[in-house]
Amino acid sequence: MDKAKFVKVLAAFIFGICVVMDLAGMIFQVSAKKRPLNSFALFINLVSFMIYVSTILDYFPLMYDFDGNPVQIQFYVQWMNTTPIMILILACLGTSMQDVLVQDWGVVVNAILWDETMLVLGLVQTMLGSSIIGWVCCACSGCCMVVVFRRIHQISNASVNNAATTYEIASLRGIEWFTYMLWSLFPCVHVLYFLRRIDLVQYEIMRTFVDVVAKAVYTVALLTGNFCILDTVA
């Protein structure tokens, strides 16, 4: 088994554990309003688990970019399904004293649309390879990411303004900055690969590591004491 595949096996194992944790969170969650958060996290980890298991078992046909390099398009499909839910989770946190789970659907939908545009442009660049048009798509995708981060900051500010405790505020800001940091690593690894600074195996290992950590943060955050305090308030 090569190193990249071994890392994917570990990723599938970790996502499997997260799925169990999210199921337990749904079962033992006392707040009906907070229970959807666990179901959102469950969806994220379940989709990721299935994608990694399917990749390990070679269920997806191997595709190639215009330069003849292998492309695993299934991970873009995974991100297109999971990152909108991650944005939705950010919008749902900090509403323990509110009647609704999401305060401003307009900002959330706008963030999701920019997020999907960012990923589509990233996929186009991946297929085009290191051509000029490919790098233009990469730059446009980066601009979309900046807009997504601005929308996430708006969502986080709204949640902080309606937070019930200082513990909740600290957790909200922590998840917000973790999101910025981890999501920013994806394009960094991507660009390094297409600049030929890292090889395919290193690229897959680094991408898998960031993918696992980025999603595990949401599961762990929803199970921390800070948000459990809010469950009794809601």
pLDDT, tens digit (0-9, with 9 covering 90-100), for 18-35: 899 888 878 876 666 677
Task: Taking residues 160-178, report their average pLDDT.
Answer: 81
Domain locations in the chain as residue ranges? 3-233
pLDDT band, very low/low/confident/very high, at 231 (cuts 50, 70, 90): very low
pLDDT of residue 169: 80
| The two structure tokens encoding residue 229 | 């305090």
* Strand, coil or helix: 64: strand
In the chain, the amino acid numbered 74 is: Q
pLDDT, averaged across the chain? 86
Dihedral sign of CA atoms 160, 162, 165, 171 in order: negative
- Write out pLDDT tens, residues 43-84: 999 999 999 999 999 898 888 988 888 899 999 999 999 999
The model's pTM: 0.89
- Write out pLDDT tens, residues 73-132: 999 999 999 999 999 988 887 666 666 777 788 999 999 999 999 999 999 999 998 889
Name the β-bridge partners of 63.
Answer: 71
CATH code for the domain defined by 3-233: 1.20.1070.10
Instruction: Give the other-Cβ count within 10 Å of 131's Cβ.
Output: 13
φ, ψ of residue 95 in degrees (nearest 5): -115, 25
Judged against a pLDDT cut of 90, whether residue 186 lies above it is answered with: yes
pLDDT of residue 228: 44
